A and B are shown apart, each in its own frame.
Chain A
Amino acid sequence: MSRKQIVILGGGTGGTMTANRLRRRFGPDEAEIHVVDRDDRHVYQPGLLFVPFGLTSLDEIVRPRRRQLHDGVIFHEAEVAWVELDREEVVLLDGDVIPYDVLVVASGVRLQPEETEGLDGPGWNDRVFTFYTPEGADALRGALERFDGGRLVVNLVDMPIKCPVAPLEFVFLADWTLRERGIRARTELVYATPLDGAFTKPVASQHLAGLLAEKEIELVTEFNAGEVDGVGGKLGSYDGRELDFDLLVTVPLHGGSAYLERTPGMADSLGFVPTDKKTLQTTVKSNVFALGDATDLPTSKAGSVTHFEAEILSENIGRYFAGRELERGFDGHANCFIETGFHKALLIDFNYETEPLPGHFPSAFGLPLLRESRLNHLGKLAFQWVYWHALLPGRELPGIGPAMPARGKKTLPVPS
Chain B
Amino acid sequence: MTTTLSTDTVDVDGEGFLTNPEQWNEQIAETIAAENGIAELTDRHWLVVRFMRERFLGTGTAPSIRSLGKESGVPIKELYQLFPEGPAKLAAKIGGIPKPKGCI
Contacts and interface: CB of A to CB of B under 8 A. Distances in A.
A222 B86 contact: yes
Interface string A265-308: 00011100000000000000000000000000011100000000
Pick the most buried of B14, B66, B80: most chain A CB atoms within 10 A of its CB: B66
Nearest to B61: A298
A194 B71 CA distance: 20
Nearest to A227: B77
A357 to B, nearest CB: 15
Contact of A238 (B67, B70, B76): B76
A196 B64 CA distance: 13
A201 B104 contact: yes
Contacts of B67: 268-270
A268 B102 CA distance: 17
Given A226-B77, A238-B77, A239-B80, A200 B66 contact: no
Nearest to A115: B66
A164 interface: yes
What is the interface residue range for chain A against chain B?
20 to 34
Interface of A: 158-160, 164, 194-196, 199-201, 222, 224, 226, 238-239, 253, 268-270, 298-300, 334, 416
Contacts of B79: 238
Given A226-B77, A238-B80, A270 B102 contact: no
A195 B100 CA distance: 11
B70 A159 contact: no
Given A200-B102, A200-B103, A239 B66 contact: no
Contacts of B64: 158-159
What is the interface residue range for chain B against chain A?
10 to 19
Interface of B: 14, 61, 64-67, 70-71, 76-77, 79-80, 84-86, 101-104
Given A158-B65, A239-B86, A269 B71 contact: yes
Contacts of B70: 269-270
Contacts of B77: 226, 238
B84 A299 contact: no
A224 B70 CA distance: 15
A355 to B, nearest CB: 9
B76 A160 contact: no
Contact of A299 (B61, B80, B104): B104
A28 B79 CA distance: 55
A158 to B, nearest CB: 5
Given A222-B86, A224-B65, A269-B70, 5 more contacts: A158-B65, A160-B104, A195-B102, A239-B85, A269-B67
A416 B80 contact: no
A128 B94 CA distance: 38
A258 to B, nearest CB: 16
Nearest to A253: B66
